[in-house]
Amino acid sequence: MANTSPFNHRSSADEVLRNQNLSGQVIIVTGANTGIGFETARSLAAAGATVIATCRSTEKAAATQKRLMLANPASTVETAVMDLSSLASVSDFCNGLAHSKIDVIICNAGIVAPKYGETKEGFEQTVGVCHVGHFLLVKKLMPRLLSAPAPRVVMVSSESHRVPPRLNFDALPYPESQFRPMKSYGQAKLCNALMAVELQRRFAGQGLTACYVHPGTMVTTEIGRDSAIVRFAMWLVSPFTKTASQGAATSVFCATWDDRSELGGKYFSHCARAKPSAETANVEVAGRLWELSERWLGEKGYSEN
C-alpha cells in the first residue's frame, strides 16, 4: 500500500495545511460548530479557503461564525443552517447557496443515537443523519462540484465501519425492532465508506475525487450529544486520544493533498492510506446502496439534483 504522506497520528490540521494557499477554493464543512468539524473549518479558513460551515440551528451558526472570525479575523467564513435530520433543511441549504462552484464537501457531521428515533422524514436517525442527509447534500450539489477544476468529497467515516462486517439491506435504515445503537452507527459509517467508493466510480471520469477517513477514536465532538454514556466515555478517554485539531488533520489532508491519484476511493487514517473492511470493495453493494438511497429520496420527493 503506497503512502507518501509526511504526516502521522500526531499531526494537527494546521501542520497539514502549513504553507498551503487555498485562496479561491470554496469548501463546505458539515457539523462545523464543535470538535473536529470546527477545527476542520477553522484550519481551512486560516489557509485562505472560503469556508461554508453548516450547523443544525441558527443559534449554533451565529456562535460558530463568531468563534471562527475570532480565530482568524482575516478569513472568509460563511455559516449556514442545515439540519441533516431534515431533507427539507438540506434542500433549502442547497437551493439558497450563492456559490456556483464548490471545490470540496467534507461530510463531517454525525450522531450516535442511544435509542431509536427518526428523522423528520422517518429514517432511523443515525443512518438518516450520517448517510441519507449527506447523500442528498452531495447529490444536489454535484453540478456545482463538477464545475470546479478538481472537486473532492471527503466522507468522515470511522473504524466502526467494520462492525457489522456486512451491510444489512434488510435492516437499513434500522427498524425499531432490530435497533442497536452501535450496530446502527457501524452501518451508517459503512454507508459513508461505500458512498465514497461509489462516488469515485461514478464521477471520477468527470474529475471528482472521493475518499473516506477515520478521524481518530473517541475524539472530542458532539457525536454523542444524545447519550450520557457516550459523552462520559469520551471524557474519560480524552487525555489519551487525539485533540480535535489532530482529529481534523486527516480530513484536511484528503481535502488538499496534491496527489489525487492516491486518494480516489481510498480509506485514510492518521493522514495515511489504511486498509478498510472487505465490504468496501464490494462494488455491487456500493451500487445497490446508491440506488436504494436514490429511491429513498424519490419516495420523499427529493429525486431531482
Q: Do you find a cis peptide bond into 173, omega within 30 degrees of 0?
A: yes
Distance CA 139, CA 134 (A): 8
* 79: three-class secondary structure by DSSP: strand
Asked if 33 contacts 60 with a C-beta cutoff of 8 angstroms, the reply is yes
Q: Which residue has the cell 492516491?
A: 262
For residue 303, what pLDDT is reported? 83
The overall average pLDDT reported for the chain is: 92
State pLDDT tens for residues 98-157. Answer: 999 999 999 999 999 999 999 999 999 999 999 999 999 999 999 999 999 999 999 999
Max distance between CA atoms of the chain, in angstroms, equals 52
| CA 11 centroid distance within chain | 20
301 pLDDT higher than 80: yes
281 pLDDT higher than 50: yes
Residue 160 identity (one-letter amino acid): S
User: Looking at residues 60-80, what average pLDDT do you find?
Assistant: 97
14 pLDDT higher than 50: yes
For residue 169, what pLDDT is reported? 96
Residues noted as catalytic? 185
The DSSP line for 90-127 is HHHHHHH---S---EEEE------SS--B-TTS-BHHH
For residue 181, what pLDDT is reported? 93
Could you tell me the pLDDT band of residue 174, with boundaries at 50, 70 and 90?
confident
User: Looking at residues 59-74, what average pLDDT do you find?
Assistant: 97
250 pLDDT higher than 80: yes
* 159: three-class secondary structure by DSSP: helix
Distance CA 133, CA 17 (A): 28
DSSP state of 172: S
For residue 236, what pLDDT is reported? 39
The Cβ-side half-sphere exposure at 304, using a 13 Å CA radius, reads 5
* 220: three-class secondary structure by DSSP: coil
